[in-house]
Amino acid sequence: MSEVKSSMPRGEIKALTGLRGVAALYVVLFHANGLHAFPQMVRPFVHHGYMAVDLFFLLSGFVMALTYADLFRDGFDFGNFKKFLLLRLARIYPLYILVTLITAVMITTVLADTYHFDDNVLRALPFNLTMTHVWGLAYAIVPPSWSISTEWAAYLLFPLTIMVAVWLPRRYAVAGVGLAFAVLAAVAFGPYWMTRHHHMHGTLDVVHSYAPGTTLRCLASFYIGLVAFRFRERIPPFAAILALIAALVLLCFKSTDLGLVAVFAVLIMALSHDKGPVARVLQNPVIYWLGIVSYALYLVHDLIQKIILKSFPAWGLSGGLTRGEWVWVSVAVSLGVAALAHYAFEKPSRRWARALFLRDAKPASPSPVPAE
CA–CA separation, 291 and 367 (whole Å): 13
CA–CA separation, 183 and 355 (whole Å): 39
Residue 165 per-residue DSSP state: I
Percent of the chain whose pLDDT exceeds 70 = 93
Give me the pLDDT at residue 312, please: 87
The H or E element spanning position 172 is helix 170-189
Spatial CA neighbour of 224 closest among 271, 278, 168, 182: 182
CA–CA separation, 341 and 78 (whole Å): 33
- 361 pLDDT higher than 60: no
Q: Please write the tens of the pLDDT for every residue from 283-339.
A: 999 999 999 999 999 999 999 999 998 888 888 887 778 888 889 999 999 999 999
Q: Please write the tens of the pLDDT for every residue from 116-141.
A: 888 899 999 999 999 999 999 999 99
Q: Please write the tens of the pLDDT for every residue from 257-268.
A: 999 999 999 999
Give me the pLDDT at residue 368, please: 39
Using only the alpha carbons of the chain, give its radius of gyration: 20
- 187 pLDDT higher than 80: yes
Spatial CA neighbour of 229 closest among 187, 181, 177, 280: 177
CA–CA separation, 324 and 371 (whole Å): 31
Q: Please write the tens of the pLDDT for every residue from 194-218.
A: 998 766 678 999 999 999 999 999 9
Q: Please write the tens of the pLDDT for every residue from 2-61.
A: 445 545 555 689 999 999 999 999 999 999 987 777 788 888 999 999 999 999 999 999
Contact 267, 59 (CB under 8 A): no
- In the three-class reduction of DSSP (H, G, I as helix; E, B as strand; rest coil), residue 91 is classed as helix
CA–CA separation, 249 and 260 (whole Å): 10
34-48, 218-232, 251-265, 345-359: range with lowest mean pLDDT = 34-48
pTM given for the model? 0.93
Give me the pLDDT at residue 112, please: 87
The amino acid that residue 313 corresponds to is P
What is the Cα 24 distance to its own chain's centre? 8
